[in-house]
Amino acid sequence: MECKKIDLKKWKRKDIFDFFSSAPDPFYMVTFRQDVTELCRWAHDNKVSFYCAMIWAVSKAINSVEAFRVSIENGTPVLLEKRNPSFTDIRDGEETFYIVTAEYEDDILTFCENSKRQSLEQNFFIDLNREGDNLIYISALPWIEITALKNEKGCEGQSLRDQSVPYISWGKYTEENGRKILGLSLEVNHRFIDGIHIGQFSEKLTEIIKSL
């Protein structure tokens, strides 16, 4: 993965990073409600799945906020060029899900076309060769509304302290006063990301959705 080493002596959040480095589990969760009306309309008009369009939107928003691209390489903070989405998917009529790791693309149609093709062609649960710290873990429960969702972590034996991958989950959207709203849950490592960065992510996601 392409990255740039961060100069700790000049890093403004070094004290925060050091403080939360002592925590065995520095992850915390924030949940909020997101208006996705324009995204639903765009997906319908372009005959694209809402799920794929939402994956693109949150990936674009994540990559737009520098703090979300900070990771750890050999114990040292680095800035990733970008993060790619790694998302759960399930085929109609089945109950077992699988995990697709896709390449993020700035163009939403290109991303959705490539991701859909990759998902349809995948015949295995997960490609462990593509697992890494340059991902965004994404999952959805489109059958129910959610107010929060906690994910499992450390499946590969990695210390939670050094895990930088953000977790994003959402449920089904509902109608409120003519708008479509869903609950979105976000889990991040406090060594890298503070509340202000989550606010920046939320603002960027809303901006991206409304621009459609």
Whether 156 has a pLDDT exceeding 90, the answer reads no
pLDDT value at residue 153: 84
The answer to whether 160 and 153 have CB atoms below 8 angstroms apart is: yes
The phi and psi torsions of 24 (rounded to 5 degrees) equal -70, -30
Long-range contacts of 89-94 (CB under 8 A, 24+ apart): 89/119
pTM: 0.95
What pLDDT, on a 0 to 100 scale, did the predictor assign at position 155? 67
The CATH number for 19's domain is 3.30.559.10
- Residue range of the domain that includes 71: 3-211
pLDDT above 70 as % of the chain? 98
pLDDT exceeds cutoff 90 at 67: yes
- On the question of pLDDT at 65 being above 80, the answer is yes
The token pair at 103 is 């390449």
Please count the structural domains in the chain: 1
pLDDT, tens digit (0-9, with 9 covering 90-100), for 77-129: 999 999 999 999 999 999 999 999 999 999 999 999 999 999 999 999 999 99
